[in-house]
């Protein structure tokens, strides 16, 4: 079961904000009431009593501004993610820390995902973070089909609306006894590298992308669970467009590094 961090952040911000408002309009006036009453009655030799804020109020006032800034930045501007699997190799490696543009496809309310301001739409070739139809976990794949597109995958070649997407052979890895093949592919306006295994596959599959849906595939074509297996991504489940790698931390005890940092193609 994954942790719903956006929901936790919204609840924490709402709770600390509510405590802060109660402190200003309810709690503080009650604590200061005896002093005000004494002054109004002009009681002689009265000393003003200082009432310390309760600990929960003190913490709420301290954390609320920080939580609010994080919520705004994370919900409407950019959000960090770490890549957990190899389905987007070689574009994204396991352990890559990436940044996701949250307003590229419209400004959405946190948690519920309702779009409130229309900014743009996903394009073929974009690398997109989304919630798949079969799980609540965020996934990242490449947009292969937008609403209305016909997608055909035949002999490990990709066709969009009947047009074969250019694949240029790059290398065999390793050269003498290859385990996978490297190709440069052009998808929409994106020029990127894909991996395919060495085995032939003569199957032909075809899909017509419905309205409000998107067809996604991983760049590690034969090692990716994507729309070929679990279907389309709904427009309301879009999270944002991945645009940069800022850090990589490989599994194990290796220290993080910046050798793989850069823009995502």
Q: For 35-66, what is each residue's pLDDT tens digit? A: 666 556 655 554 555 567 888 999 999 999 99
The answer to whether 193 and 182 have CB atoms below 8 angstroms apart is yes
Active site residues: 87, 141
Least confident of 125-129, 146-150, 199-203: 199-203
pLDDT over threshold 50, residue 1:
no
Paired tokens of 193: 């590298």
Superfamily grouping for domain 83-263: Umud Fragment, subunit A (2.10.109.10)
Give CA separation, 239 vs 8, 62, 82, 111, 227, in Å: 17, 30, 14, 10, 17
DSSP category for residue 26: I
Mean predicted lDDT score pLDDT of the chain: 89
Whose tokens are 């200003």? That residue is 24
Indicate yes or no: pTM above 0.75.
Answer: yes
* Total residues belonging to the chain: 265
| E strand spans, 69-208 | 78-82, 96-101, 107-108, 115-117, 127-130, 139-145, 150-154, 157-160, 163-164, 167-173, 180-187, 190-197, 204-208
For 9-17, what is the mean pLDDT? 91
Candidates 139, 141, 183; CA nearest to 164 is 183
Please report, for the chain, the start and end positions of each structural domain, with discontinuous segments joined by +. Answer: 5-74, 83-263
């Amino acid at each position: 079961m994954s942790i719903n961090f956006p929901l936790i952040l919204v609840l924490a911000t709402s709770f600390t904000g509510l405590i802060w408002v109660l402190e200003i309009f309810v709690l503080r006036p009650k604590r200061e009431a005896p002093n005000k009453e004494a002054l109004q009655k002009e009681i002689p030799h009265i000393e003003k009593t200082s009432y310390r804020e309760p600990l929960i109020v003190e913490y709420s006032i301290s954390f609320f501004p920080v939580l609010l800034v994080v919520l705004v930045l994370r919900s409407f501007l950019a959000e960090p993610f770490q890549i957990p699997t190899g389905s987007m190799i070689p574009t994204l490696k396991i352990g890559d820390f990436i940044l996701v543009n949250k307003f590229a496809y419209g400004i959405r309310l946190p948690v519920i995902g309702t779009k409130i301001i229309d900014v743009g739409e996903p394009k073929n070739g974009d690398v997109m973070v989304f919630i798949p139809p079969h799980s609540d976990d965020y996934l990242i794949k490449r947009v292969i089909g937008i609403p209305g597109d016909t997608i055909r995958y035949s002999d490990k070649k990709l066709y969009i609306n009947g047009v074969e997407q250019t694949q240029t052979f790059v290398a065999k890895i390793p050269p003498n006894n290859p385990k996978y093949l490297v190709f440069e592919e052009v998808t929409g306006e994106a020029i990127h590298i894909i991996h395919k295994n060495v085995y032939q596959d003569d199957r032909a599959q075809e899909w017509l992308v419905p309205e409000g849906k998107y067809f996604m595939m991983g760049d590690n074509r034969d090692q990716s669970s994507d729309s070929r297996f679990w279907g389309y991504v709904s427009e309301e489940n879009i999270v944002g467009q991945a645009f940069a790698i800022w850090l990589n931390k490989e599994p194990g005890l290796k220290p993080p590094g910046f050798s793989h940092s850069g823009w995502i193609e």
